[in-house]
Amino acid sequence: MRIALIGYGKMGKAIEEIAVAKGHEIVLKITSSNTEEFTTEALQKADVAIEFTNPHSAVDNIKKCLDAGIPVACGSTGWLERWEEVIDYNVVKNGCFLFASNFSIGVNLFFELNSYLAGLMAPHTDYEVTTEEIHHTQKKDAPSGTAISLAEQILQQITRKKQWVNHISDNPTELEIISERIDPVPGTHKIKYQSDIDDIEIIHTAHNRKGFAGGAVLAAEFLHGRKGVYNMKQVLGL
């Protein structure tokens, strides 16, 4: 499979290493220093694109891939206020698009565990739930997309919580997401249920970027030859 990497920072390089080891070919690498090469003609040499850039350029990058008729898997976060715009654009272009706040297989299993645990804890109002995420200092958005996904899952199950906030809160209807930026942490997410009697915690700690990169390549393989909108649950058959 021929892959275009839109974004060639640390994550892009990790994706390249895994993709090449699996026998795929990287036919395009786009960074901020060679945007003139980000053309329809160049994109059409690829079978699929993987987009890892930043919240400000992600939507335009996705659209450019869809314009070229190339399936695109996007791991950039912080742009979801434009979600409907992208989905509508994908329909117009009869394209193929996948977004994941986190491509890691372990994190996606953690999502399933988080949702299940929140459902179990919902009736037990003596427990206060909080969330925490820690990333490296180059992480541009806070809270992380993964932390938002985890929080949204909790809000679906624990209805006494009405919204998440990215600060410490004494409002019982708000779900705290506490964000820290510490080098060289690739990503840690913690969900804590605390009562006067005991605490229950689940934690996912990434040791490196290989989990994210491997999941991104798996998603690209899944998208090849498809149309529509997908997520990692479908990729992993969860």
What's the pLDDT at 209?
84
CATH number for the domain that contains residue 116: 3.30.360.10
Query: Which of 64, 135, 161, 189 is the catalytic position?
Result: 135
Average pLDDT score over residue span 55-76: 96
Concatenating the DSSP letter of every residue in the chain gives -EEEEE--SHHHHHHHHHHHHTT-EEEEEE-TT-GGG--HHHHTT-SEEEE---TTTHHHHHHHHHHTT--EEE---S-GGGHHHHHHHHHHTT-EEEE-S---HHHHHHHHHHHHHHHHHTT-TT-EEEEEEEE-TT--SSS-HHHHHHHHHHHHH-TT--EEESS----TTEEEEEEEE-TT--EEEEEEEE-SS-EEEEEEEESSSHHHHHHHHHHHHHHTT--EEE-HHHHHT-
Examine the domain organization and report whether 19 and 75 are in the same domain: yes
pTM across the whole model: 0.84
Q: What confidence tens digit (pLDDT) does each residue in 31-49 have?
A: 999 999 999 999 999 999 9
Band the pLDDT of 214: cuts 50, 70, 90: very high
Examine the domain organization and report whether 116 and 146 are in the same domain: yes
Examine the domain organization and report whether 68 and 137 are in the same domain: no
Average pLDDT score over residue span 72-100: 96
Examine the domain organization and report whether 198 and 163 are in the same domain: yes
Enclosing domain of residue 146:
105-206
Examine the domain organization and report whether 9 and 84 are in the same domain: yes
Examine the domain organization and report whether 70 and 6 are in the same domain: yes
Examine the domain organization and report whether 13 and 87 are in the same domain: yes
CB 122 within 8 Å of CB 158: yes
What's the pLDDT at 216?
96
Examine the domain organization and report whether 70 and 135 are in the same domain: no
Band the pLDDT of 169: cuts 50, 70, 90: very high
Active site residue 139: yes
Band the pLDDT of 12: cuts 50, 70, 90: very high
CATH number for the domain that contains residue 27: 3.40.50.720
Q: What confidence tens digit (pLDDT) does each residue in 104-161 have?
A: 999 999 999 999 999 999 999 999 999 999 998 888 778 998 999 999 999 999 999 9
Query: Which of 139, 161, 189, 204 is the catalytic position?
Result: 139
Examine the domain organization and report whether 16 and 64 are in the same domain: yes
Examine the domain organization and report whether 217 and 188 are in the same domain: no
Active site residue 189: no
Average pLDDT score over residue span 178-201: 95
Examine the domain organization and report whether 113 and 56 are in the same domain: no
- Residue 95 in this model has a pLDDT that exceeds 90: yes
CB 62 within 8 Å of CB 38: no
Q: What percent of the chain has pLDDT over 90?
A: 88
Domain count, the chain: 2
Examine the domain organization and report whether 177 and 217 are in the same domain: no
